[in-house]
Structure 1
Amino acid sequence: MVSRVIPVDPFDLVVFGATGDLARRKILPGLYRRFWAGQMPADSAIIGAARSEMTVEAFRAVVREAIDEHVSAEKRDAATIDAFLDRVDYVTIDAKGEAGWPSLKAEMRKGMVRAFYFSVAPSLFGDLAERLHKHGIADAQSRIVVEKPFGHDLDSARALNATLARHFDEHQIYRIDHYLGKETVQNLMAVRFANILFEPLWNAQYVDHVQITVAETVSVEGRGAYYDRSGAMRDMVQNHIMQLLCLIAMEPPYHFDPDAVRDEKLKVIRALDPVQPQDIVRGQYRAGGGQAGYVDHSENPDSTTESYIALKVHVSNWRWKGTPFYLRTGKRLRARASEIAITFKEPPHSIFDDEKGWRENVLVIRLQPDEGMNLKVMIKEPGPGGMRLVQVPLDMSFAEALGENGTDIPDAYERLIMDVIRGNQTLFMRGDEVEAAWAWTDPVIRGWEDRGDRPQGYDPGSSGPEDALMLMHRDGRRWREIRD
């Protein structure tokens, strides 16, 4: 099977903050890969905009360097790179002033899709939105892309949404969460809703529990001051993990339509029970392995911010009542791994005498480092000597089924940016969805702050604090091993 590349309409894409880290690592290399694949029309234009004084030639040199560093060698050929750079321009912009805006307006072409990527601090969103309209650069069909964080709490999220709403309608605002652009996350919806196999079992009657793990080996070094104001709960659970939880727990939408999908995700968030103190474990990595600890990286020896968190949560609706969802994420852990594991219940009665080797059926959805799925089932162990059971995985990765193109999975940012150009908001968060997530998150954070709880130390390269193991053990369950 060969994957199809469907070109989008010609567009003008303005990247604010074009000289920043995100633009250099993800946005600009991703756009080049879409150009290389034939999805980005040759008459499209990419306009970098930032406060740095820079010529077009100097900015193109920055883009070339980003391509060399972040695009694989087989996709880099001189002719294609040169053709791509011909579509790149640059404007020096003062986000809080008037300099550069007339020049940006002059770059806009009639009849093109206009998109504006706000790869800047949220404090600049309002200034950019206001000036885009003041100078007649954005119109009713324009789209803006905003990066997280979407606020620091419910009040700030509401204020941010109100700021954007003064200048853009909700259908023009694309709140990007790159986890939703991952191939396997989208295939989760396909597996659930395009096949009869799993959906009848996708409920509390048959599912024992669900584990969602996002483990990272990196520290917060270099961004410790920012992270110390955020922590794992705000940085990962409120957005990335919440979105994964919603896709697992949501009801089938009436149609694969942006608002239909997001309506069902919103229902899940609103059905989440408050989290009890005994169902929360917070951790902070210590120094070890010749590297500094969290308090050193945050430059705050009295920090009570968590670099690790584990939660047991419940969705109170007919489908999931009584089925726990265990969530965990952390820095400086044993391996970089993100996965969702749906563990099904044991059969009500076993016909086999030897049950010592019994294991539950588990559907594992791997998000990173190797995107794919497998289903663990029980079979007879080969050989004579009776009916001995052994658990084996049925590989459901898509690489073999899709041939060579199955291994060439586009980066999440590539897919999401192309969705912006298409005007498809299915994989982007809606304003009320963001606010509902904060409405659930804020009391959890306020609870441990009021109690004066401090995170537990854990060794770098481990699976996290010891109490996180007890969170599962007291329920007669175990965390899945964190490994590459």
Structure 2
Amino acid sequence: MADKKVMVIFGATGDLALKMIFPSLFFLDKEGHLEPELMILGVARARHDDASFADEVQKMMREKAGADYDEATWARFVQRLCYVDGDATQTSTYGKISERLKGFSIELFYLSTSPDFFGVIARNLRDAGLVQSQTRIAIEKPIGHDLASSQDIEAALAQAFPEERIHRLDHYLGKDTVQNLISLRFANTLFEPVWNKDNIEHVQITVAETVGVERRWSYYDSYGAMRDVVQNHMLQLLCLIAMEPPAALDADSVRTEKVKVLHSLRPIGAREVERETVRGQYRKGYTEQGAVPGYSEEAGGGNSDTETFVAIAAHIDNWRWAGVPFFLRTGKRMPARTTQIVVQFRPVPHSIFHRTENLPNRLIIRLQPQEEIALQIMNKTPELEAVRLKPVTLDLNLIEAFRTKRRRIAYERLIFDALKGSTFLFVRRDEVEAAWRWIDRIAAGWKERDMKCLPYSAGTWGPSSAFALTERHGFSWAE
């Protein structure tokens, strides 16, 4: 095997690569986590030579790294960078790559492209003889547009790479707080004994963004919030909250338990979609940035029924969670940017206090804008004349707790593991397909019922039907 090693990034001049992938590699290099001999080859359509490509990467690096940028690391990192221009759908591009990589051990192909290109790139890599015995491939979810397209992509990947060398990324799994869900549940006797239907009343998962689709309109209009966020990030969070304890802390044991959750999700079809789901699309409105256009206006006045908001009441039909609703909500142009999980416990069986003051305990796990875990409990207020209760939060601010540590980009962990060959934080094929089956049934139900998007003003928490969704089950969203 050659001494020289290389990681190849397709789509190297795109937003994802420049804003996330290259900064992550820069920080890994800064901390000594990249092998000294590892080269990084960028591949994209843009016309560049090695020097002009490096200039583009450096420009974004300065902006992204801020105070953590340093010239010494850059001087070392830039020596790793090289570039090939070409169309990933054309076989001639792979001839240029082969010529550039003669004598190299190809460690990892990272596909920072649209899912539409995953299959064709995998086939071209195989046909060009670029897949070596140790070569791995990393692709980012969503994989495909539905189950059928996902299976087509997976078939092409499987012809070029064995399952253990396919790394399917969901960047949420690179976040420390998401990884900490396993530790929180299974390393603390405070939680695991009460983590079930007997003690938990319901769970809410919210992924809210203040931004609109902006320059991603073309991609987003093909996917929508259901395929872009629910199938992708939100089902991962649901699985980690709801899964059974794995037999061991290894990749297959953890992923097997997540798949079991997906198989236990109660199907939502045409008969259930109007009761259990809400579709919405933002109209023009006002946010902290002032007046903003609606979704169709961002498309240049086009008329689209793509959802920018989804709310779902999901149910997991197994012994642990029977009867406990999981409310999922995601949207663009929301009042606040937040990703949080709220686990609401059941009230005490009998309260000796005034019932309006006896609020249920809540465990709140925030992933963004800052990572923290908070436990909301009832406490007596300091008054002489009466016993009054007020919710008090026991707050673990993870940024404050680890303030001497730099806050990592989620991709750093994922790239580090992919380069090592670890599959622990990556998604297995059967997991992807189980998620698509559940999502496809909902999408088919929307179509059968002709369930159009409900309008909501930018800067609000979605259509009023989203509030009725939780209220039908006797609950309210935690804002």
On the 8 A contact 1:228/1:298 being kept in 2, the answer is: no
Task: Select which of 41, 51, 71 maps to 2:35.
Answer: 41
Q: Deviations over 1:189-241 (max 9, x none)?
A: 11111222101111111000000000011112222233222211111111110
* CA positional deviation for 1:379: 1.5
On the 8 A contact 2:12/2:112 being kept in 1, the answer is: yes
- Distance in 2, matches of 1:338 and 1:288, equals 22
Task: Select which of 128, 137, 147 maps to 2:121.
Answer: 128
* CA positional deviation for 1:53: 3.0
On the 8 A contact 2:365/2:373 being kept in 1, the answer is: yes
| Corresponding residue for residue 244 of structure 2 | 251
- Distance in 1, matches of 2:356 and 2:292, equals 43
Task: Select which of 276, 280, 296 maps to 1:279.
Answer: 276
Unaligned runs of 5+ in 2: none
Cα gap change, 1:467 to 1:145, in 2 (>3 Å): same
Cα gap change, 1:450 to 1:264, in 2 (>3 Å): same
Cα gap change, 1:109 to 1:253, in 2 (>3 Å): farther
* CA positional deviation for 1:335: 0.7
After superposition, the CA RMSD in angstroms is 1.9
Amino acid in the other structure paired with 2:45: R
| Corresponding residue for residue 50 of structure 1 | 44
| Corresponding residue for residue 364 of structure 1 | 364
Q: Deviations over 1:14-63 (max 9, x none)?
A: 11111111111110111111112222233321111123332111111111
Structural mapping, 1:51-66, within 5 Å: 51-66=45-60
- Distance in 2, matches of 1:221 and 1:71, equals 24
Are 2:441 and 1:440 equivalent residues in the alignment?
no
Report how many residues are paired: 469
- Distance in 2, matches of 1:196 and 1:414, equals 31
Task: Select which of 469, 472, 477 maps to 1:471.
Answer: 469
* CA positional deviation for 1:122: 2.4
Question: Normalized against structure 1, the TM-score is what?
Answer: 0.93
On the 8 A contact 1:10/1:41 being kept in 2, the answer is: no
Task: Select which of 426, 429, 441 maps to 2:427.
Answer: 429
Unaligned runs of 5+ in 1: 1-8
* CA positional deviation for 1:10: 8.9
> Identity percentage over the alignment?
45
Amino acid in the other structure paired with 1:360: P
Task: Select which of 98, 109, 128 maps to 1:105.
Answer: 98
| Corresponding residue for residue 167 of structure 1 | 160
Which sits farther off after the overlay, 273-282 or 460-469? Answer: 273-282
* CA positional deviation for 1:251: 0.6
- Partner SS state of residue 356, structure 2: coil
Q: Deviations over 1:363-396 (max 9, x none)?
A: 1110110011111111221232333211111012
- Partner SS state of residue 53, structure 2: helix
- Partner SS state of residue 373, structure 2: strand
Task: Select which of 44, 59, 83 maps to 2:76.
Answer: 83
On the 8 A contact 1:217/1:461 being kept in 2, the answer is: yes
- Distance in 1, matches of 2:106 and 2:202, equals 45
Structural mapping, 1:245-394, within 5 Å: 245-275=238-268, 276-277=272-273, 278-289=275-286, 290-299=291-300, 301-350=302-351, 352-394=352-394
Which runs of 4 or more aligned residues in structure 1 lie more than 6 Å from their structure 2 counterparts after TM superposition?
Answer: none
On the 8 A contact 1:231/1:307 being kept in 2, the answer is: yes
Q: Deviations over 1:141-197 (max 9, x none)?
A: 211011233111111111111111111111111111111111100011111112221
| Corresponding residue for residue 410 of structure 2 | 412
Q: Deviations over 1:436-482 (max 9, x none)?
A: 1111111111111111111111111111111111111222211011x
Cα gap change, 1:110 to 1:385, in 2 (>3 Å): farther
